Amino acid sequence: MSKLPRTAEAGIAIGYDSRRNSQKFAQLAAAVFESKGITVWWYEEIVHTPLVPFAVKTLQAAAGIMITVEYRQIHFEGFLMSYLGKP
């Protein structure tokens, strides 16, 4: 994240869907960013994928992560990342 400008101040938006362990994976990602001094913008409830890039743009966050299913293998969790408003 050091390559993205103003990451610590602008923060990271994190969301998750209803799949098994999505919330746990999102919490783990949030903990990692917070441990590095990066502000985390956290959705406290299940959200739809487009809300994370929306949050990045609205909050002017440095990046966003959506914990969701890997589209080719529905049994695996994965994440989508957007940065500076670009999914």
pLDDT tens digits, one per residue of 48-78: 988 998 999 899 998 899 988 766 655 555 6
Distance CA(68)–CA(59), nearest Å, equals: 21
In angstroms, what CA-CA distances link 26 with 5, 20, 42?
Answer: 23, 11, 9
Question: What's this model's pTM, rounded to 2 decimal places?
Answer: 0.80
**77 alpha carbon, distance to own chain's centre:** 13
Domains of the chain: 7-83 (3.40.120.10)
At 8 the pLDDT is 83
